[in-house]
Homo-oligomer: A and B are copies of this chain.
Amino acid sequence: MSQFSHFDDAGASRMVNVGAKPATRRVARASGIVRMLPTTLAAICQGPGAKGDVREVARLAGIMAAKRTSDLIPLCHPLALDSVEIQLTPAGDDGLWIESQVEITAKTGVEMEALTAVTVAALTVYDMCKSMDRGMVIERVQLEAKSGGASGEFARPAAGEVGA
């Protein structure tokens, strides 16, 4: 048998059949960091009333992308998400930390939606800032936790402080 649930015994890709699974409450959280020049981070994080809010543009892009995850990831199931939230907070003087949380009651989980939200938000930060800092790097995009479903809970072990 294939080790990969997305391949059948002959190695053909397939959308895994979730028809027999019960719909349960599922939550997934993911995160990632965009590393940049301190001057870029300072420009993004100007106080209230600043001219232009990079984080809001990135947040909206991430939310919209989460809704379209099944259009992007070939074998993901289409899902009617209940909730998507994204936060972007400074991490040290050269990092913008992006966290997402996605919720649903469904037969399958929303890990990919949470990860897609983070990566598209990160790409949008890159796009908004690239004219001043083309060397930005997207780092450490990972699932933080998930709950619900037959595979049970997942929580990433702490790995030291973000931005350290």
Contacts and interface: CB of A to CB of B under 8 A. Distances in A.
Contacts of A10: 51
B6 A103 contact: no
Contact of A19 (B12, B25, B43): B25
A41 interface: no
Contact of A77 (B16, B71, B82): B82
A57 B84 CA distance: 16
| Copies of the polypeptide in the assembly | 6
B11 A53 contact: yes
Interface residues of A, number: 93
A116 B123 contact: yes
A73 B151 contact: no
A104 B78 CA distance: 12
Nearest to A80: B78
Interface of A: 2-19, 25, 32, 43, 47-57, 59-61, 63-65, 67-68, 70-87, 103-107, 111-112, 115-116, 119-120, 122-124, 126-132, 134-143, 146, 151, 154, 156
